[in-house]
Amino acid sequence: MKGFDKGAAKREGTKRMGRYIIKRLIQLIPILIGITFLSFAMMRLAGGDAVTYMYENAGAAVSQEIIDKTKAEYGLDQPFLVQYAKWFSGMMTGDMGESYVSHRDVYETFVSKLPATLLLTLTSILTTIVIALPLGILSAVKQNKWVDYLIRFFSFIGNSMPNFFAALVLMYFLAIQLKILPVVTNKNLAQSIVMPTLTLAISMAAKYTRQIRAAVLEELNKDYVMGAKARGVRGYMIIWKSVMRSAMLTIITLLALSIGSLLGGTAIVENIFMWDGVGKLAVDAITMRDYPMIQAYVAWMAVIYVLVNLVTDLVYHYLDPRVRLGGNEV
């Protein structure tokens, strides 16, 4: 009977999770409509003519008749709502239009830039975890000792350092002075990814170190830790099996926010190091007023944040079953 009850509860939990995932994915539709509509409107209200700018950027002097003809080809002579409705219906079927600049398919161009951004996201997150996790725990365990002060000092410096400044410092020492890494991206991927990864990891690791320290300290002061110590449980067992499990919710929240922003492309870092990802693509599209490419980027960001938050909720529920899907606790 107990086995039956457990099986029924498990099936019910799986059904509830499935309904929750479907509900969150359905919620993505109005979010996409709202965000893309606002960005579509802002681009039109910003002024300027995308077609005229396209010809000027190409260094071509053309008549107004040709400009009007090109506008008609791209559908820019139609009312605003008609333009948006056509674009959104196309996006929902996988057709995001054609780039005004490269004249390539927007979807294919965007997808071609994703691997670089995904790789940079992965290396940055892994580097951040490798640095921040042990330092945050060590700082908490050695509270108010010289090790703690030293870690907090460097984390404060890293947290206050803008990405572009960190990039310049790394360029100066690693590329110009020591000459062990290239200044910008080249064909050697292993060398090219080091400085963008370190640039992103410096600020993230500094922030994570302080947050992990605070989360671990909060857990170390709780009664169950005192009880475990009184029973003679070793310190490292308490840290890894009890404290870190409880503090993991805070760490996962930070990771989710960072992964979302990194997957959207880090425009400054990608442009400094000429890393050919979606962040650089977005900046180039804005500069060239490549409206279809900008819209593709906006839609990507909306999807990414919804999916990252969904995965975070599911991981929360896995780590702590008391947390119901939807944010409430039992």
User: What is the residue extent of each domain of the chain?
Assistant: 12-92, 110-288
Within 8 A by CB and 6+ apart from 305, the residues are 260
Full DSSP string of 7-38: HHHHHHHHHHHHHHHHHHHHHHHHHHHHHHHH
The pLDDT value given to residue 100: 79
Residue linked to tokens 């870690």: 151
- Amino acid identity, position 27: Q
The Cα 193–Cα 111 span in angstroms is 19
**What CATH fold (topology level) applies to the domain 110-288?**
MetI-like fold (1.10.3720)
Of 76-90, 123-137, 158-172, the poorest mean pLDDT is in: 76-90
pTM for the full predicted model = 0.78
- Amino acid identity, position 53: Y
Identify the residue with better confidence: 285 or 152.
Answer: 152
pLDDT-derived band of residue 195, with 50, 70 and 90 as boundaries? very high
Residue 31, number of CB atoms within 10 A of its CB: 13
Which of 121, 86, 93 has the alpha carbon at shortest distance from 107? 93
Rounded to 5 degrees, what are φ and ψ at 181?
Answer: -135, 150
- HSE at residue 210, side-chain half, CA atoms within 13 A, is 15
Cα-Cα-Cα-Cα torsion 88, 90, 92, 97, nearest 10 degrees, comes to -90
| Whole-Å CA distances, 120 to 115, 125, 194, 270, 275 | 9, 8, 9, 9, 9
Of 108-112, 201-205, 251-255, 294-298, the poorest mean pLDDT is in: 251-255
Within 8 A by CB and 6+ apart from 292, the residues are 87, 96, 97, 98, 99, 100, 106
The Cα 275–Cα 265 span in angstroms is 10
The pLDDT value given to residue 330: 41
Residue linked to tokens 């500069």: 287
Rounded to 5 degrees, what are φ and ψ at 275?
Answer: -80, 120
Q: What is the average pLDDT across 241-249?
A: 74
Cα-Cα-Cα-Cα torsion 156, 159, 165, 170, nearest 10 degrees, comes to 80
Reported as a single tens digit per residue, the pLDDT across 209-231 is: 998 888 888 887 777 777 877 77
Ranges of H-type helices in the chain: 2-45, 50-57, 64-74, 80-92, 106-141, 146-160, 163-170, 189-192, 194-220, 223-230, 235-238, 244-263, 267-272, 278-288, 291-319
| Whole-Å CA distances, 265 to 105, 110, 253, 279 | 20, 12, 19, 4
Identify the residue with better confidence: 151 or 297.
Answer: 151
The pLDDT value given to residue 196: 92
Q: What is the average pLDDT across 277-301?
A: 84
Residue 282 has pLDDT above 50, yes or no: yes
The Cα 304–Cα 302 span in angstroms is 6
Of 3-7, 170-174, 219-223, 316-320, the poorest mean pLDDT is in: 3-7
Identify the residue with better confidence: 54 or 129.
Answer: 129
CB 116 within 8 A of CB 109: no
Question: Helix, strand, or coil here: 98?
Answer: strand
User: Treating both helix axes as pointing N-terminal to C-terminal, what angle do 291-319 and 106-141 enclose, rounded to 10 degrees?
Assistant: 40
Residue 270 has pLDDT above 70, yes or no: yes
